Structure 1
């Protein structure tokens, strides 16, 4: 489905606080591979997604280094991981209704692609790259700072929480058991692997997590399990 009307693109630009000089970058960032496969033309957003991931890591590293000069490398790494994990990026994408602007193939559209976390997170990374290519470093830095400042106010991000360690202690006290992590699947192309990890307490499946590394996926799974245990009181 093609949502590239002038009105739609201008509305998205207003939400982002950035006006593109070359609309082609924006259109590419919003184009999923299924649309290109079905129509046989144009560029999909996979290359921009790859680049945007690196741009985002660089910008957030700079922001965190300046804002938390006394923090150690491990804490900074966990803070950055919390900011750029799939759940966080998908939530940011949803906050600007990014899914409604995407060009998707008919099958992806019918399959609920506009609400898929992985698809939304990837599109947001592509959008970051598009802004960088269109306006340069200062332009994309301004957009990233405006978006991520509210997340930096989150206690979970600021403390760089290690959910695996937190869960291990909470599970031991609440259940008398230690969590067990199991790799469910590895998907995606070589340059953009996605790891899905399930987490169990005993034989009970407590949830799953997705990340760009096995460690990141385990942290996401531990976070999901923590929510379940907290809900149990």
Structure 2
């Protein structure tokens, strides 16, 4: 049974302009669905289905369910590979911050997914296109659709473009108390005193970013960037932990 039969999504009944619009989305994302009905399904809200009962459309709730699990797996694999010093509890906490609704809404908005959601007229008039829960659901449904259409590797490639860079850039550093962890490491090894210094402020007032350097005595260990001073310090501490762990590993060899 192929996906079209399984989902019974009557994609041929969608207006030509809708299908043309989704073609543009695929071009922009550099992703071409083998079964485009999965893509349409991912963006179909239940309100649209209810208003087109005779056209055999289906909503995105099942794809959302699948996408939630696929997203967790993808993020888990990435964190397992890139954060070798984190405990199970810390990994779980960071993953939860990455896959939570506010984060998914940001990813969805950056991709302008809200422009493509197929909504019923009532949902449209009440602001459904910008509703956080709806935007988060669409992001997960898209991942579920991509997984069904092409497997895990294209999903990973997509996450490498949209999600993973934000982890590396310290967007979630505020979730983990890297400063406390760094202090503990320094105290255990008697390396000296830590000092954080803001070395640069850049960007307009409404979108300012801070650049912070953390030093151990006079030695620079890490540079962090954040939307607040605290976030920049956490990011700098995160980098410093990797540096100290690397030195420790070299000493054991």
TM-score, normalised with respect to structure 1? 0.65
> Which residue of structure 2 aligns with residue 99 of structure 1?
114
Query: Which protein has greater RCO, CA pairs closer than 8 Å, 6+ apart?
Result: 1
> Which residue of structure 2 aligns with residue 16 of structure 1?
29
Question: Superposed, which structure 2 residues align to 1:52-201 within 5 Å?
Answer: 52-155=67-170, 157-158=172-173, 160-161=175-176
> Which residue of structure 2 aligns with residue 28 of structure 1?
41
Once the 2 structures are TM-superposed, how far is the Cα of residue 158 of structure 1 from its aligned partner?
4.0
1:75 and 1:159 in contact (8 A); partners too: no
Structure 2: distance between partners of 1:58 and 1:101: 26
Once the 2 structures are TM-superposed, how far is the Cα of residue 155 of structure 1 from its aligned partner?
2.9
Could you give the per-residue CA deviations for residues 59-102 of structure 1, whole angstroms, max 9, x where no partner exists? 10000000101111111111111111111101111111101101
Gaps of 5+ in 2: 1-13, 178-253
Gaps of 5+ in 1: 163-233
Could you give the per-residue CA deviations for residues 34-65 of structure 1, whole angstroms, max 9, x where no partner exists? 11111113110000000100000011000000
Q: Which stretch shifts more, 29-38 or 148-157?
A: 148-157
TM-score, normalised with respect to structure 2? 0.60
Structure 1: distance between partners of 2:118 and 2:16: 6
Give the aligned CA root-mean-square deviation in angstroms.
2.1
Structure 1: distance between partners of 2:151 and 2:66: 13
Distance 1:126 1:56, change over 3 A: same
Larger radius of gyration: 2
Secondary structure of the structure 1 residue equivalent to 2:118 = coil
Once the 2 structures are TM-superposed, how far is the Cα of residue 4 of structure 1 from its aligned partner?
6.0
